[in-house]
Structure 1
């Protein structure tokens, strides 16, 4: 092209983003400026979204500085992407600083930071932002609530999880699949299996994540037969088990010392196009060890395609 304007450069950058060629997207962004073409808001949004997924701190800081220099930080979409970028890089303090400086915030702004703190294990900060959001911000959505419920489960905070459960029901968000799965996961991780089963049974959970969560909950707390029975029901409801589902049922077989059944499920995973990962091999090694078949343990370890 004789003339390469901001629209053509942005199209190239966006194409690289869509086709997961992150390095080329960033290099095109740099070449664009070297050619004397100034990026627009939508160019930054395309580039920042890619850097966020790459989670590279040095690029995050450079892009942030560039946005400030161009005077675009006040735009809501750009500010949200900067917060997302820092959250995915684990730079939550930087993300929080940008969040506090934003003149406008929407549900994306709040949910991004709450999710970032939740996934980073900062439970107090996640709860504090959720409380602040309830008081001064928009109505929480399923993503922010599911993130905090996940923290309750991983940190075994049953009482806080119950309070959040009550709040979710009061704002009519307790019937989405994502939140229901988060409830099951939270109660399972906290050892409240009866409550998890009650939620699972009375709600129509139609995705494999919910079923896998319940299977893992059973397996982790000694309800091995229940985990296996639930796994056997999956094809009957029209669902397809994924790699995490097989890990859950293999853990159940391991603890119940059902070696032959474990081998059956391990072979069965091939029928669903699942390549065994380290976790699957770990379950099988543990299963053979529990049965005292140490020779086969050694053979399996030697044949693993991993170190």
Structure 2
């Protein structure tokens, strides 16, 4: 070891360096391998930091693997620190490093991603795709489309990202037109990502959605795609949401591997369409084969109980949430308020609201007040009306304004009813079309 290097360290530090240089990870390639194969992202960053402290030369691979690890940590300060380090090391011309940094920023701070994208001296299809996905995720689909149109070269991932963006934001017609263009003019076959994104919204498109979903299933069959967990679950979810529970069950049984998401898709689909017994049977089957339900599974089975008016069964499922190591969420409490309210057990519904740890939202209050109206019980509604009025938002809660006014009329509180009507006019309140608290 050169003397000049030895003088940089005190005795304990010198011993540490000697031990490290004589260890199996003494070469640069060994350090890179250690970063790449670290047991956790935090460990990768620690090794990279140690590498610098020991004056091991840093190359593009060590930076790239560290960046990849940092992306999983969602730590903006750390990403900015590494960005500064990349500038100092002169790696800004390395398109792979800059693409990885862009991907990290897009998941944490999209404004930083936009600034980096504008500064990048070289862009690849991957970087363009990252920005399209980022703009889509932030709800700016038009900007995503502008980038898509500007791209010098598109691959299947580019088309898939843009098509998925249209479908995820409810602009199905534009998504279908782009899919048609990809198939007919570009002669590209959709990949699993594209089809899963489309199948995910077919259940919300009515008859057209069911026809499209069946066509996608036909495409999968003709091309002999394996029904893996991802594509199989997407098909199960599509058929279940469209009300074709038998078809969903057939696909489910054909899947080689299933998981809790597959089971949950079946249970929620059955509950949504009022197949209460089927939902409960599937829930029991899932438990019998050792699959642990998640939060969404319990939402599905509780909704089934609401549809069937199964109060005691619903109590049991609700208690099971904590038995499975989970904490009830706001939507679980909302299901219980619906369940008790529909059965006329308004005291029980009120008790759930008072005891729930998360603050009740307007869905919970609206459901409770609607049950009070249905069961002609103004006294129960009167307990909470003043507090609910303070929480009302004119732009979103028009249905609740109307509901409270109707409750005042039912309780013969004419002055209060008139006050609510005037409030609605003054605040320009409009009830959303199709608004309802019935689940």
**Common fold, TM-score beyond 0.5?**
yes
8 A Cα contact 2:227 2:256, kept in partner: no
Other structure's SS at 1:154 match: coil
Deviations 1:62-107 (A, max 9, x none): 122112xx1x12x233222222222222222222233333333333
8 A Cα contact 2:271 2:301, kept in partner: yes
TM-score normalised per structure 1: 0.86
Deviates further, 121-130 or 248-257:
121-130
Deviations 1:163-198 (A, max 9, x none): 222222222226233222222222222233343333
- 2:106 is aligned with 1:52: yes
Matches within 5 A, 1:3-18: 7=60, 13-18=67-72
- Once residues 228 and 68 of structure 2 are traced to their aligned partners in structure 1, the CA distance between those partners, rounded to angstroms, is 32
- 2:152 is aligned with 1:99: no
Alignment-derived partner of residue 275 in structure 1: 327
- Once residues 87 and 173 of structure 1 are traced to their aligned partners in structure 2, the CA distance between those partners, rounded to angstroms, is 28
Query: Relative contact order (alpha carbons < 8 A, sep ≥ 6): 1 or 2 greater?
Result: 1
Alignment-derived partner of residue 128 in structure 2: 79
8 A Cα contact 1:52 1:89, kept in partner: no
Q: Which has the larger radius of gyration?
A: 2
Residues 137 and 3 of structure 1, relative CA distance in 2, 3 Å threshold:
farther
Alignment-derived partner of residue 117 in structure 2: 64
Residues 199 and 20 of structure 1, relative CA distance in 2, 3 Å threshold:
same
- Once residues 303 and 350 of structure 2 are traced to their aligned partners in structure 1, the CA distance between those partners, rounded to angstroms, is 20
- Once residues 137 and 202 of structure 2 are traced to their aligned partners in structure 1, the CA distance between those partners, rounded to angstroms, is 21
8 A Cα contact 1:83 1:113, kept in partner: yes
Alignment-derived partner of residue 198 in structure 2: 148
Alignment-derived partner of residue 34 in structure 2: none
Other structure's SS at 2:203 match: helix
Structure 1 residue runs without a partner (length 5+)? none
- Once residues 100 and 157 of structure 2 are traced to their aligned partners in structure 1, the CA distance between those partners, rounded to angstroms, is 16
Alignment-derived partner of residue 171 in structure 2: 122
Give the length in aligned residue pairs: 301
Match of 2:96 among 35, 42, 47: 42
- Once residues 259 and 302 of structure 2 are traced to their aligned partners in structure 1, the CA distance between those partners, rounded to angstroms, is 20
- 2:70 is aligned with 1:21: no
Deviations 1:233-264 (A, max 9, x none): 10222322111111100111122122221121
- 2:341 is aligned with 1:289: yes
8 A Cα contact 1:285 1:300, kept in partner: yes
TM-score normalised per structure 2: 0.62
- Once residues 117 and 63 of structure 1 are traced to their aligned partners in structure 2, the CA distance between those partners, rounded to angstroms, is 25
8 A Cα contact 1:197 1:214, kept in partner: yes
8 A Cα contact 1:99 1:109, kept in partner: yes
Alignment-derived partner of residue 227 in structure 2: 175
Structure 2 residue runs without a partner (length 5+)? 1-51, 360-439
Q: Report how far residue 301 of structure 1 moved.
A: 1.0
Residues 224 and 115 of structure 1, relative CA distance in 2, 3 Å threshold:
same
- Once residues 154 and 99 of structure 1 are traced to their aligned partners in structure 2, the CA distance between those partners, rounded to angstroms, is 26
Deviations 1:120-140 (A, max 9, x none): 222122222322332325432
Residues 13 and 119 of structure 1, relative CA distance in 2, 3 Å threshold:
same
- Once residues 82 and 112 of structure 1 are traced to their aligned partners in structure 2, the CA distance between those partners, rounded to angstroms, is 10
Deviates further, 260-269 or 168-177:
168-177
- Once residues 257 and 81 of structure 2 are traced to their aligned partners in structure 1, the CA distance between those partners, rounded to angstroms, is 44
Residues 132 and 238 of structure 1, relative CA distance in 2, 3 Å threshold:
farther
Q: Report how far residue 10 of structure 1 moved.
A: 5.7
Deviates further, 117-126 or 90-99:
90-99
8 A Cα contact 2:136 2:144, kept in partner: yes
- Once residues 203 and 193 of structure 1 are traced to their aligned partners in structure 2, the CA distance between those partners, rounded to angstroms, is 15
Q: Report how far residue 298 of structure 1 moved.
A: 1.7
- Once residues 164 and 111 of structure 1 are traced to their aligned partners in structure 2, the CA distance between those partners, rounded to angstroms, is 15
